[in-house]
Amino acid sequence: MLSKRLMSVLFAFLILLPTVYMLGFGAVAAEEQTTLVVGVMGYPDSLNPFNAIMSSSFQVISLIYDMAINGYGPDNNPVPDLAESWEVSEDGKVWTLHIVKNATWHDGVPVTAEDVKFTIDYIIDYPYFRPDYQQSMAISYLSTVEKVECPDNYTVKVYFSEPLACFGQPFFFIVPKHIWEDVDPIAAQTNITCFEEDFPPIGSGPFIFEEAVRDQYIKLRANKDYFMGAPKYDYLIFKYYTDESTMIADFLAGKLDYIDLSPETYEQIKGQPNIVTYAYPSLSIMELGFNCWEDLTESKGHPALLDTRVRRAIAHAINKTELVEIALKGLGEVGQSILTPQHKIYYWEPSEDEVIEFNLSKANQILDEAGYLDVDNDGIRETPPYILVDLNDNGVIDLPDENITIPEDKRELKFSIWVDESDAEEIAMLPLIEEWLNEIGIKLKEKNIVDSDTMIDVNLSGEMDLYLWGWGWDIDPDFALSVFTTDQIGWWSDCFYSNPNYDELYEKQHVEVNITKRVEIVKEMQEILYYDCPYVVIAYPYDLTAHRTDRFKGWIDETEHPGASLDFEKWGYLALEPVEKPEGPAKMSLAWILGGTIVIVVIIAAVLFLKKRTPKTS
């Protein structure tokens, strides 16, 4: 028979068994918190919606903040966001926005019309115009705003001096007045990244910023009170990489749920089990850009690149078709204009007779006739005794040598080129471009493959000669066109291009609400850029993405609804939910195993203890 002491121990543990079970079940429940993990090449430069540049930044910002009217619905169409509806006056000069009544900021403060008014006023700095601040991306959607009024807590009236064609499909995020009202707009544009411990990003969007480790990850928490409905999982982590092969290995191992792909890895991943891949036309361009900065006291670029004929000769030396086939594996289209075919009616392309085709003989002829000759027969052309800078009806005006002194180290056509290390396709293009330039007497003296931050710094400071880079444009063409205006030098302009005629056309299309007239102006602007060649637009790359189907369901087909991509905006994220796991007995058994194991271990220990304490008999 069992001793009374042992009986007491067993009775006590039978009483405790439900508690032990709950501990085991609690452990299972804790494990069931779900996290969506997205792999990204290149860490964001900022989470501040007023100064972010990189696409990886807006991928996160668009989940923390909301817009008033969201210009990027699932079908790349404008849809309600914080503004649940709106009306426009007949003359297009008054927009009335009706704000939702159930949105809150992440710190619990209600969102009201005053936040929308504050954001617009803050961007335009009404009534004081600050040109050094107002060259941000958002200003192109608000530049003719005269005043903003709030008749009540949930109505905003925006008054324009002239109607803005692009306001109906805008791109700017609403920020909380109670947080930003004491921040100087200049500081907001220049110093604050929202990675600072004392100034984290606080928005009204579906995800709440939790933590970030530079170059490693950003962790967001699902906003369970989101006014459009909470995400159906607990956390979202963006994991950042500088090496694509490592990211692909993690994706195949099931550590990542969604990634963007290069053309090389797209072919490797396509057809793998539990993986779906998408390839579809995008709003993106890839370009070979030139430093066109005419201020030679500031620019560190080669003066010969101010000559339109040099840039056009280089354009003739780029075999875009071969670059698309080799570097993009055919997953893209040959580029022409700075806008893309996805801009639909606004897109312009040259006719067969007008196209700047790949023709090395033509490129050499242009340089010969312009006086860029290989005087010493070393295979590298030298500059003539003058350079050609400003545009006239014939394309250029000659400036005598006494007006512009070309440094001795820049007498030869030897250029530096800069490439972002996170872009495998551009790196693959580099040796081909170098070979073609050699064929026309131009040498690449420096090939700089650098991180994204360095790339931004170099391009904003004008240190480069040539560079390979890319853009993901807005749906409305206004911002893309604004990048080439003189006002954007030192801000969004990476090529420092300036043309008064182009600037004038930009202002005209900016306020033209007659769609037919605006299309005509926009196409004329594209034609000017095509022949002036501040860029050689190489390609329109496809968006290439992949997701796993074994952990989450509800993925939206990006080929049919490109706005639902996880690269940007919230629609795809809100549609996802975890794949269901076995219910009932499976969960119970695991809990019982955990609890039962604890009970058995404790009983055995108790028996051994009591046995040890039992006195020996003689």
The per-residue pLDDT for range 534-569, each reduced to its tens digit, is 999 999 999 999 999 999 999 999 999 998 899 988
| Identity of residue 600 | I
The domain defined by 66-190 carries CATH number 3.90.76.10:
yes
Residues in the chain: 618
Retrieve residue 317's tokens. 């030396």
pLDDT at 617: 40
Instruction: Tell me which architecture the domain covering 34-62+205-281+544-580 has in CATH.
Output: 3-Layer(aba) Sandwich (3.40)
The overall longest dimension of the chain from CA atoms, in Å, is 122
Using CA atoms of 103, 121, 471, 449 in order, give the dihedral in degrees to the nearest 10. Answer: -100
Retrieve residue 462's tokens. 């004008």
Instruction: Tell me how far CA of residue 466 lies from CA of 96, 326, 359, in angstroms.
Output: 46, 21, 20
Going by C-alpha positions, the residue among 486, 491, 487, 436 that lies closest to residue 466 is 436
pLDDT at 186: 77
| Cis bond before residue 127 (omega within 30° of 0) | yes
Q: Are strands 552-553 and 398-399 parallel, antiparallel or unpaired?
A: unpaired
How does DSSP assign 86-112, residue by residue?
EEE-TTS-EEEEEE-SS-B-TTSPBP-
Instruction: Tell me how far CA of residue 216 lies from CA of 43, 323, 410, 568, in angstroms.
Output: 8, 32, 41, 20
Give the C-alpha separation, 160 to 548, whole Å: 47
Cβ proximity of 489 and 177 under 8 Å: no
Cβ proximity of 97 and 159 under 8 Å: no
Retrieve residue 312's tokens. 């056009």
Instruction: Tell me how far CA of residue 310 lies from CA of 297, 370, 434, 479, 498, in angstroms.
Output: 21, 8, 16, 27, 17
Give the C-alpha separation, 25 to 587, whole Å: 8
Handedness of CA 383, 387, 389, 394 (dihedral sign): negative
Give the C-alpha separation, 42 to 50, whole Å: 20
Cβ proximity of 159 and 144 under 8 Å: no
pLDDT at 166: 82
The torsion angles phi and psi of 610, rounded to 5 degrees, stand at: -70, -35
Give the C-alpha separation, 536 to 527, whole Å: 13
Cβ proximity of 204 and 82 under 8 Å: yes
pTM of the shown model: 0.80
Give the C-alpha separation, 449 to 422, whole Å: 9
Any idea what the Cα angle at residue 121 is, between residues 118 and 126, rounded to 5°?
A: 145
| Identity of residue 404 | I
pLDDT at 233: 98
Low-confidence ranges of the chain (pLDDT < 70): 1-31, 126-137, 386-406, 582-618
Cβ proximity of 558 and 545 under 8 Å: yes
For residue 169, what are the contacts with CB-CB under 8 A and spacing of at least 6?
Answer: 69, 71, 77, 78, 474, 475, 476
3-state secondary structure 249-310: HHHHCCCCCEEECCHHHHHHHCCCCCEEEEEECCCEEEEEEECCCCCCCCCCCCHHHHCHHH
pLDDT at 397: 44
Boundaries of every domain in the chain: 4-32+585-613, 34-62+205-281+544-580, 66-190, 284-353+408-541
Region label for 11, one of left (φ > 0), alpha (ψ between -120 and 50) or beta (otherwise):
alpha
| Identity of residue 243 | D
Q: Looking up tokens 């989940």, which residue turns up?
A: 63
pLDDT at 404: 59
Tell me how crowded residue 389 is: count the other CB atoms within 10 A of its CB: 18
pLDDT at 492: 85
pLDDT at 456: 86
In a 3-state reduction of DSSP, which class is residue 145?
Answer: strand
Give the C-alpha separation, 540 to 179, whole Å: 40
Q: Where are the alpha helices (DSSP H) in 150-204?
A: 177-180, 185-190
Tell me how crowded residue 19 is: count the other CB atoms within 10 A of its CB: 10
Tell me how crowded residue 527 is: count the other CB atoms within 10 A of its CB: 15
Give the C-alpha separation, 447 to 460, whole Å: 18
Give the C-alpha separation, 276 to 308, whole Å: 45
Instruction: Tell me how far CA of residue 158 lies from CA of 138, 214, 358, 508, in angstroms.
Output: 15, 39, 49, 21
Q: Which superfamily does CATH assign the domain made up of 284-353+408-541 to?
A: Dipeptide-binding Protein; Domain 3 (3.10.105.10)
Q: For residue 583, give the DSSP letter.
A: P
pLDDT at 57: 93
Cβ proximity of 418 and 358 under 8 Å: no
